[in-house]
Amino acid sequence: MACYDLHIYIPKEVRMQNYATRSETVQQIIKSLNLTRTLYVSSIIIGEPWTGKRTLVRHLFPDLPTADGHDQEAVEALLGQTDALIIEHYEKIPNTQRLDFEDKYVIAIADYAGNTKLLDETFAFIYHMPPLRDRPEDIQLYADLYRQEATRTLMLDTDISLEGDILDIRQNLRSLRASIYQEVLLQKGNRDALERGLYHYFLDRLPEEADYHYHLGLFEKPLLEAGLHVYGSQLRLAEALGINRNTLRKKIHAWL
């Protein structure tokens, strides 16, 4: 594909320092996009949903118009109106062969590759955004950012601690953010809030799950775990709870 000087307005300032990432792969994508931003070339970023593809593109090119691949007519109309644009959900376009990217600056975003041969023929640059599980250096970075965001949003005066096992990255940044907000609410929720949460939990499960002893674990398991953490020994915990040590051992054996 031939390259020409691009005579449309695209801000040339490098914004990488404001985009949250420690991943070398993502940084290379950013550098490459910045290097090609003054050329008539088309690029596509492919990766799982919620990996930060759209945020990255909108961060680098905030002034470019955007079309959605779910609406091919809208994509074609925008291609006819401008020399530079972003196409989201590129994989959803029914007939990509109808699109003409000649003398255009196109940044496409897709959740999966589709026809790789056609992609090679269409795009000068094909980038693959790694999922969060392959960017361990970004997991803690975003966890800290979302923790700060959650404490501000919920107007909390104190910070929270995050254990690694509560960080849910199954849906990349989406589930990570949700898991942190849930953890913030759980750590900082008062007694009334916890009781309301349990009320709705039981409301959704009764009468199908009506085993009283099974549900006791919701109360006793976290109490025992926290108690052992605070008191450091079964003897001291039994004394603090006012129960027999043998009774405590049985409960620990049952729930822990």
- Structural domains in the chain, sorted by start: 16-130 (3.40.50.300), 136-255 (no CATH)
CA neighbours closer than 13 Å in the CB half-sphere of residue 229: 6
Closest by alpha carbon to 19, among 51, 44, 48? 51
Q: Which is higher by pLDDT, 102 or 165?
A: 102
CA–CA separation, 211 and 196 (whole Å): 20
CA–CA separation, 167 and 160 (whole Å): 14
Average pLDDT over residues 122-127: 96
| pTM given for the model | 0.78
Among 6-20, 138-152, 203-217, 227-241, the minimum mean pLDDT is found in: 6-20
CA–CA separation, 44 and 57 (whole Å): 10
Angle at 189 between CA 253 and CA 230, to 5 degrees: 40
Residue 101 has pLDDT above 50, yes or no: yes
pLDDT of residue 17: 46
